[in-house]
């Protein structure tokens, strides 16, 4: 199984500020996926981060709001920009190491925006 660590595990932020979440994987992976899990809701894919190319965003998510970096095959960051209370959520990083559809997840970053 992959070891995935996310930082921060939780944070409380003020409206209008930005927060960057880091995701470190213990081995090289082609694609990294960023999901959001709002309170009482399912996991929603924000974007797929590919090394060496622009991230692919899902409908309803835009790069200006959720810029993603993927500098190498073991690391990615997701920034939540100009936050509002509606951005309060758990943000999850995940990888599919074997291209089988089995995703390994980080522990998540719980974000509260006041």
Partner 1 sequence: AQRVTQPEKLLSVFKGAPVELKCNYSYSGSPELFWYVQYSRQRLQLLLRHISRESIKGFTADLNKGETSFHLKKPFAQEEDSAMYYCALRERQGGSEKLVFGKGTKLTVNP
Q: Cβ 87 to partner 1, closest distance in Å?
A: 19
Q: Cβ 44 to partner 1, closest distance in Å?
A: 8
Pairing of strands 109-113, 10-13: parallel
Q: Are 93 and 107 a contacting pair, CB within 8 Å?
A: no
What is the DSSP code (8-state) at residue 55? P
> Is residue 2 part of the contact set for partner 1 (CB under 8 A)?
no
45: β partners? 35
41-100: contacts with partner 1 (CB under 8 A): 41-45, 48, 56, 58, 92, 100
> Residues interacting with partner 1, by CB under 8 A?
33, 41-45, 48, 56, 58, 92, 100-108
């Amino acid at each position: 199984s992959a070891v995935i660590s996310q930082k921060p595990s939780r944070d409380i932020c003020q409206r209008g500020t930005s927060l960057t979440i880091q995701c470190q994987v213990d081995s090289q992976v082609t694609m990294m996926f960023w999901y959001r899990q709002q309170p009482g809701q399912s996991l929603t894919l924000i974007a797929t981060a590919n090394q060496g190319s622009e991230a692919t965003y899902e409908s309803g998510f835009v790069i200006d709001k959720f810029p993603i970096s993927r500098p190498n095959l073991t690391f990615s960051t997701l920034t939540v920009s100009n936050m509002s209370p509606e951005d309060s959520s758990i943000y999850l990083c995940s990888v599919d190491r074997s291209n089988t559809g089995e995703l390994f997840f980080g522990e998540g970053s719980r974000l509260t925006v006041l």
